[in-house]
Structure 1
């Protein structure tokens, strides 16, 4: 590994580093992270910080008998977010800005681009963006769920060169190092395979929600857009010193040589399919054929409710997932088409300037 020449990086810090005892924020582990951010900026590298910890930071403000209900956790997030931001702010002598997101913000193309523009403006004015999921208002339908995957989506939105995910272990091991003293650290990963996923265990921290699996998911999202991804031990000062010296202190996931086109990466890795369009089993896709050649005669069913512009899953009747793509028609109309024997209506849809699915915002599903 050569000396880093990053223009822009995203660093993700988890709850276990922010509030290790769930008794408010602690600067104990954050000092070395803040120093790393400062030194990166001094070297000309722009930094975006994705910080978990609002729930853990606010938990001490609530009675011990509470906290299990979703409403309590949302209230903890609301109270803890201000303490978390104040803690970070005390560690820097430059300005920072709070960005709270839900998955709905990221999966909407217009809002996704707005997030990018906001981060660009903040960074161009030497302001540190601090991003967190908006746990106070998010729901199961709107949430990302963990800040590992959120950090990868933010890295894609920010056009980052590298994503650094802080963990409570040194990186990815071939087995659980807490159970197996002979576990070996995997220093480099060139391709994320099922074998790599099999090495991931559950969360090792009682405070955080993300385990190694979500970190690998995040790495997979990032490297497919050409973003180098590191999993390091965020509890160790030497991890950050090594990065600045061009050394790999943990596990590095190397980026794809040919990154996905940005719009296709957004469809595949950031959006959620809000419904399904079902086609005959004989229908097939290939990289050479776009989804926009799909015709009404290929449709056999619609699953779920979706509107024009939503992202849907294209699959066969037997369940094979073919692609994700933005739809130019609502589920109501497409469902009506599949249930009608009206050639005139079908021809009208097929001849419209807008095809059923948008090839510009589509992505083939990866082979399972």
Structure 2
């Protein structure tokens, strides 16, 4: 335990580990994970568990149903969630707490802060927070989409220093290990590049392992917040023994040396833009250093509908993504002032965005 020097760990467990046969929850693979959590806590390490699997855990209740629509899946999630929580709870002699989230909870700054406060209170009280996406009420618009990325968002919100993502393979390989006998496990990743994504299997690659791309996305979110991220084989007990003994059993993504500040990380990786601001010209200084450069005269177009305080994407007129920012104006007001001559305005408008509420994006 001395090698990694963890303080707070988020561990993500998927459906295949929770209900491998889709006949309800099984302890087959969860016992070793529970033992890992217990031993971490014995060493003074705080743990947050992100556990998907409610739909898989509740599928057997509807095995005879011919319907496969979204309403049935939501019912499966409702039935399976209680079963899953009960399964985790019986492994431990300390209390667990359930937190169900949608993307809307994470992208709203006030609710995001509330989630953080709740997690900190639970950890301070010695409870184990168990987090899942709220599949019973979520819609396509509100979904995070996968629990790998949810785990990365939770790790950032929890100020964790380590994220452990359980997979069905040992980690990231240079080729699909199910198709290539000479595939090599990559133990260390210092920078997530397009080549790393290609190994995971992207639009231009057919060599990746299914589900690995979202794990790389999650690793990118987490490492940019200064969080070390492991991808390990959750089906192997030895993975957790190795971690406890300070050995890397899978792939370790090293954190940024200069992580993003908490609010800027939230803007970049969690908050969802509600609209776009198309602007012209190049700026003498980065926008986050001098936001006053962005004036109504430079607005080419306002896209979408958003309110004061919503997150917007600032894009140049050539299509380059410049920044995500919190808007100080509604889309209606920005459209109005951009159409007026400066001398026609009765009041000189304030800054469109503020220096502290801008996250600069890499050119894409």
Q: What is the TM-score normalised by the length of structure 1?
A: 0.93
Query: 1:312 deviation in Å?
Result: 0.4
Partner of 1:277: 277
1:200-241 deviations in Å (ceiling 9; x for gaps): 138xxxxxxx81101000000011111000000000000000
Residue range with higher mean Cα deviation, 184-193 or 274-283: 274-283
Q: For residues 140 and 291 of structure 1, do their structure 2 counterparts lie closer, same or farther at Cα, with a shift above 3 Å needed?
A: farther
Q: For residues 292 and 33 of structure 1, do their structure 2 counterparts lie closer, same or farther at Cα, with a shift above 3 Å needed?
A: farther
Partner of 2:21: 21
Matches within 5 A, 1:104-119: 104-119=104-119
Query: 1:140 deviation in Å?
Result: 1.7
Query: 1:107 deviation in Å?
Result: 1.0
Is 1:300 equivalent to 2:296 in the alignment? no
Q: For residues 346 and 367 of structure 1, do their structure 2 counterparts lie closer, same or farther at Cα, with a shift above 3 Å needed?
A: farther
Structure 2 SS opposite 1:73: helix
For residues 67 and 134 of structure 2, the distance between their equivalents in structure 1, rounded to whole angstroms, comes to 18
* Unmatched 5+ stretches in structure 1: 203-209
Contact 2:163/2:227 (8 A) holds in 1: yes
For residues 67 and 201 of structure 2, the distance between their equivalents in structure 1, rounded to whole angstroms, comes to 26
For residues 277 and 263 of structure 2, the distance between their equivalents in structure 1, rounded to whole angstroms, comes to 20
Is 1:162 equivalent to 2:162 in the alignment? yes
Aligned residues: 357
Partner of 2:354: 358
For residues 81 and 121 of structure 2, the distance between their equivalents in structure 1, rounded to whole angstroms, comes to 23
Q: For residues 267 and 337 of structure 1, do their structure 2 counterparts lie closer, same or farther at Cα, with a shift above 3 Å needed?
A: same
For residues 178 and 4 of structure 2, the distance between their equivalents in structure 1, rounded to whole angstroms, comes to 31
Matches within 5 A, 1:197-216: 197-201=197-201, 211-216=211-216
Partner of 1:339: 339
For residues 2 and 126 of structure 1, the distance between their equivalents in structure 2, rounded to whole angstroms, comes to 22
For residues 77 and 345 of structure 1, the distance between their equivalents in structure 2, rounded to whole angstroms, comes to 54
Residue range with higher mean Cα deviation, 185-194 or 138-147: 138-147
Partner of 1:207: none
Q: For residues 337 and 163 of structure 1, do their structure 2 counterparts lie closer, same or farther at Cα, with a shift above 3 Å needed?
A: same
Query: 1:76 deviation in Å?
Result: 1.1
Partner of 1:227: 227
Q: For residues 290 and 198 of structure 1, do their structure 2 counterparts lie closer, same or farther at Cα, with a shift above 3 Å needed?
A: farther
Contact 1:283/1:316 (8 A) holds in 2: no
Query: 1:67 deviation in Å?
Result: 5.0
For residues 264 and 184 of structure 2, the distance between their equivalents in structure 1, rounded to whole angstroms, comes to 35
Partner of 1:367: 363
Contact 1:242/1:249 (8 A) holds in 2: yes
Residue range with higher mean Cα deviation, 281-290 or 173-182: 281-290
Structure 1 SS opposite 2:356: strand
Partner of 1:11: 11
Query: 1:70 deviation in Å?
Result: 1.4
Contact 1:120/1:158 (8 A) holds in 2: yes
For residues 110 and 288 of structure 1, the distance between their equivalents in structure 2, rounded to whole angstroms, comes to 22
Q: What is the TM-score normalised by the length of structure 2?
A: 0.94
1:107-129 deviations in Å (ceiling 9; x for gaps): 11111111111111111111000
For residues 139 and 303 of structure 1, the distance between their equivalents in structure 2, rounded to whole angstroms, comes to 23
Q: For residues 335 and 98 of structure 1, do their structure 2 counterparts lie closer, same or farther at Cα, with a shift above 3 Å needed?
A: same
Q: For residues 154 and 346 of structure 1, do their structure 2 counterparts lie closer, same or farther at Cα, with a shift above 3 Å needed?
A: farther
For residues 366 and 317 of structure 1, the distance between their equivalents in structure 2, rounded to whole angstroms, comes to 16
Contact 1:337/1:346 (8 A) holds in 2: no
